[in-house]
Each structure stands twice: as structure tokens, then as C-alpha cells.
Amino acid sequence: MISIGVLLEYRRRKVATSLIQEMLSQLNSRIRELWLEVNTSNEEAVRFYEGFGFTRVMILENYYSDGSPALRMRLALDSAKERDTDTRRRIT
């Protein structure tokens, strides 16, 4: 399991976009799919991940220590290279 976060003072500077793009380029030939969990109330993050091609899979009730649910998302990496190029065009 890997946790990735960006400090508040560095948000909206494409730090997370760069991290995800680099991760996808490194993993694309090594694994077939990537899964993540994000708080269901974090709509901005959900849209961010959807921009990379992640799809909503299921809600995990009581996932976080405060009892809040998480949204499990999945990205199939077989065509992530194409999505990465498209996303780079849209985001940067």
C-alpha cells in the first residue's frame, strides 16, 4: 500500500498531476490495474482521478478511522498510456 498526499501550500501547482503521470508511466508495463481509495466527500479528488481514467467501483463503509466511507476506484493500465497522453493535453 502506498499513500500519496500533497501539502496544502503546494496544491493547485500540478504536483499531484506530475506524481500520477510519473507513477503511471513507470507502472504501465509492470502491472495491469491500479486501485485506490478516496473519501467519498472529496469530490474534487474523485474528479481528479476520473480525469486519469479511474472508474468508481464500490463504496467501503466505515473505511476511515472517523467512520467515514471511502470510494474504491480502479484504473486498467492496458491502455493507460493513451489516457496519460490525453490527460496531459487536458491538464497541462
pLDDT single digits (tens) 11-49: 889 999 999 999 888 887 788 999 999 999 999 999 999
62 CB burial (10 A radius; 0-12, 13-18, 19+): exposed
Is 20 within a domain?
no
Residue 60 belongs to some domain of the structure: yes
The three three-digit cell numbers of residue 2, written as one number: 502506498
The answer to whether position 71 is within a domain reads yes
* Tally of structural domains, the chain: 1
What are the start-end ranges of the E strands in 1-92?
Answer: 33-39, 55-60, 70-76
CATH no. for residue 82?
Answer: 3.40.630.30
Is 37 inside a domain boundary? Answer: yes
Q: Is residue 23 part of a domain?
A: no
pTM of the full predicted structure? 0.77
Residue 50 lies in a domain: yes
Residue 10 falls within a domain, yes or no?
Answer: no
Average predicted confidence (pLDDT) for the chain: 86
State which residues form the domain around 59. 33-86
